[in-house]
Amino acid sequence: MSGAPGDCGIEALADDAWLLRFGARLDPHLNARVHAVAARLRQAAPEWLRDLVPAFASLGVFFDPAADPARVRAELLALADAHAPATRAPEAARIVEIPVAYGGDCGPDLEAAAAELGLAPAQLAERHAAGDYVVAMIGFAPGFPYLLGLDPALALPRLATPRTRVAAGSVAIGGAQSGIYPRESPGGWRILGRTPLALFDPAREPPALLQPGDRVRFVAVGAAEAGFDGAAR
């Protein structure tokens, strides 16, 4: 990895892609800088830009294969200069409310997780819903949001034995993060609840409900209000 202004590094990801690296740890400030640079690139809209893929502390930048890679690299480093604003203004981030039915069949791990944390299930649900989350990146499955902003006191290790089947819409804790399963799949995160919202729909534009940089607020609702009949599986 070669150096860049400030603490940013850049390396070739493919013949038509550069990878900007801002660090190597899970840090909200680094992630905020990733999204700030991504927003700056979208606003600048250089003619060579084809796609942006934000991650926790890096940004994949895909460009027109006909463009000069050296010129693209130079422009990227200029846009990622450490002297530019480090974060987007809070009002610039989209806020998405996610209704969640906590506990019961919708949240099969809520009681055990609460006991492990020394809380009542209702307390865990309330504290989880009170968080102010940011979509750090999308990964694992189409539309799966990795959410930063979990109360550190609620961090829980993943299950020792992952489930072979997790219901679509399951809202969970995995380590120091929260996330939402967009479709039925195997998974080892602690499931606290479930949302009726479709996190990914290929017929929708864009297909993913949540985008990197979005802010997420969970809203506790009853299972009946969420449209569940008490069976999450």
What percent of the chain has a predicted confidence (pLDDT) above 70? Answer: 91
Return the ∠ at Cα 134 (arms to 103 and 128), rounded to 5°: 25
The whole-number average pLDDT for the span 197-215 is: 93
pLDDT in tens, 4-36: 444 688 999 999 999 999 887 788 888 888 888
Highest mean pLDDT of the ranges 18-32, 73-87, 213-227: 213-227
Which alpha helices (DSSP H) does the chain contain, by range?
Answer: 28-44, 69-79, 110-117, 121-129
Quote the pLDDT of residue 1.
39
Are the beta carbons of 105 and 232 closer than 8 angstroms? Answer: yes
| Residue 62, burial from CB neighbour count under 10 angstroms (0-12, 13-18, 19+) | middle
Are the beta carbons of 82 and 195 closer than 8 angstroms? Answer: no
Return the ∠ at Cα 166 (arms to 163 and 167), rounded to 5°: 160
Quote the pLDDT of residue 92.
67
Domain architecture of the chain: domains with CATH: 2-90 (3.30.1360.40), 93-221 (2.40.100.10)
pTM for the whole structure: 0.80
Identify any residues that bridge with 167 across adjacent strands, giving them in sequence order. none
